[in-house]
């Protein structure tokens, strides 16, 4: 039988098994832990210590509950004090030559650096073919405050001589308070009209009020991903086994795309991302996505990403150039005007 330790949770003494995480201890003492942000629950979407959405106060210090272990005498506070400074792990601030799905297509062929980017650790999805897995699942590294990250991004912008500043991941939106404050700080440090703050996201928790907050804070470009038309496809691509949760994520992403276009099309550049690999999504379904996007806005930029073998799906075969040309034709055939496809030979632009 393993040893028990005494800890204090929100002022109440409890005994829990030694060697478990604070998240586990909270669950065992009746706290609700959720994979979708909900009032009254501890939001723990990544569980690798990357996003710090699950942060609690441990002996007056902010710590991620999913990777911090209990020990005798620990005092945990689950309600963070008003005005606390959020943190999350962000990696790899650097210049980038390709851009993300929220980068306007006409910049993608430019030579040299298009934007400065950084990558937030942690994701709520578990895509076995994750294209950014090395940064997504790196739960170690510096946990930045929004101000520190904004200062680092501002100097990266200046170092690479660009105007666009992107945050990707992992999933950039997981720690809402952190991201909104980061965008606000970054805008404050880059008040010139050329500066563009770009958020790349799977959009699965990007609710309408969250979008409003990001736009108010200064976000100028966004690249939401739509990982399927059917929840079953989303479940396969994102390795989410809970169908109810997958539907919630997918519906939120589609609603975010529509809301962004309906409300902010004149203020924010929007580029929609769609994954393609025949093992993951059918050509027919790509057509259905195209039809639905056409109904929302025929002019919206749609960028198809050719999913290559990565991470746990090294068995995948990267779609060939001709296959991507076919996908391009299908989406154009649905009436979409600005379709671009990522291929082994660079991007196919809206005009073939």
**Site residues (vs ligand FES, CB under 6 A):** 44-47, 49-54, 64, 66, 122
Q: How far is the CB of 53 from ligand FES (least distance, A)?
A: 5
Considering the complex, state which of residue 45 and residue 290 has its C-beta at the smaller distance from ligand FES. 45
- Total Cβ atoms within 10 A of residue 65: 26
Distance of alpha carbon 122 from alpha carbon 89, whole angstroms: 8
Report the phi/psi class of residue 153: left, alpha or beta, with left for phi > 0 and alpha for psi in -120 to 50: alpha
Token pair for residue 306? Answer: 């050719």
Q: Radius of gyration (Cα) for the chain, nearest Å?
A: 21
The C-alpha angle with vertex 306 and arms to 300 and 309, in degrees rounded to 5, equals 150
Q: Assess contact for 183 and 218: CB atoms under 8 A.
A: yes
Considering the complex, state which of residue 7 and residue 46 has its C-beta at the smaller distance from ligand FES. 46
SS3 content of the chain, % helix, strand, coil (to 5): 30, 25, 45
Q: How far is the CB of 63 from ligand FES (least distance, A)?
A: 10
Considering the complex, state which of residue 54 and residue 341 has its C-beta at the smaller distance from ligand FES. 54
DSSP state of 86: P
Q: How far is the CB of 130 from ligand FES (least distance, A)?
A: 16
Q: How far is the CB of 47 from ligand FES (least distance, A)?
A: 5
In whole angstroms, how far apart are CA 73 and each of 18, 70, 150, 169? 11, 9, 36, 36
Which is nearest to 170 in space by CA: 90, 103, 228? 90
Token pair for residue 62? Answer: 């902010």
> Who's near 199: CB < 8 A, 6+ residues apart?
102, 166, 167, 172, 173, 179, 183, 214, 219, 221, 222, 223
Considering the complex, state which of residue 35 and residue 184 has its C-beta at the smaller distance from ligand FES. 35
- Total Cβ atoms within 10 A of residue 47: 20
Q: How far is the CB of 347 from ligand FES (least distance, A)?
A: 33
Q: How far is the CB of 168 from ligand FES (least distance, A)?
A: 17
Q: How far is the CB of 267 from ligand FES (least distance, A)?
A: 31
Name the strand (E) or helix (H) holding 176. helix 176-189
Considering the complex, state which of residue 51 and residue 286 has its C-beta at the smaller distance from ligand FES. 51
Considering the complex, state which of residue 53 and residue 301 has its C-beta at the smaller distance from ligand FES. 53
Considering the complex, state which of residue 140 and residue 267 has its C-beta at the smaller distance from ligand FES. 140
């Amino acid at each position: 039988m393993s040893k028990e330790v005494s800890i204090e949770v929100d002022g109440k003494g409890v005994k829990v098994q030694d060697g478990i995480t604070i998240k586990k201890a909270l669950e065992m003492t009746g706290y609700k832990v959720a994979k979708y942000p909900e009032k009254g629950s501890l939001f723990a979407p990544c569980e690798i210590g990357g996003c710090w959405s699950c942060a609690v106060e441990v002996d007056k210090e902010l710590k991620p509950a999913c990777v911090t272990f209990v020990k005798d005498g620990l005092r945990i506070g689950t309600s963070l004090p008003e005005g606390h400074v959020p943190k999350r792990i962000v990696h790899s601030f650097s210049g980038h030559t390709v851009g993300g799905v929220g980068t306007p297509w006409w910049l993608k062929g430019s030579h040299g650096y298009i934007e400065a980017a950084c990558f937030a650790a942690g994701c709520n999805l578990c895509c076995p073919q994750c294209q950014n897995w090395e940064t997504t699942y790196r739960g170690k590294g510096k946990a930045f405050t929004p101000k520190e990250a904004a200062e680092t991004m501002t100097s990266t912008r200046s170092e690479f001589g660009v105007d666009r500043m992107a945050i990707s991941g992992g999933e950039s939106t997981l720690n809402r308070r952190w991201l909104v404050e980061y965008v606000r700080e970054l805008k404050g440090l880059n008040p010139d009209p050329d500066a563009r703050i770009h958020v790349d996201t799977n959009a699965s928790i990007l609710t309408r009020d969250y979008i409003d907050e990001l736009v108010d804070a200064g976000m100028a470009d966004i690249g939401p991903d739509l990982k399927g038309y059917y929840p079953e496809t989303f479940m396969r691509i994102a390795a989410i086994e809970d169908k109810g949760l997958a539907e919630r994520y997918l519906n939120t992403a589609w609603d975010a795309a529509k809301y962004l276009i309906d409300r902010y099309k004149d203020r924010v550049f929007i580029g929609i991302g769609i994954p393609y690999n025949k093992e993951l999504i059918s050509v027919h379904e790509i057509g259905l996505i195209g039809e639905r996007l056409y109904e929302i806005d025929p002019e919206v930029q749609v960028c198809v990403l050719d999913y290559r073998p990565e991470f746990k799906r090294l068995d995948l075969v990267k779609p060939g150039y001709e296959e991507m040309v076919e996908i391009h034709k299908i989406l154009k055939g649905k009436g979409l005007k600005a379709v671009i496809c990522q291929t082994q030979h660079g991007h196919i632009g809206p005009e073939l």
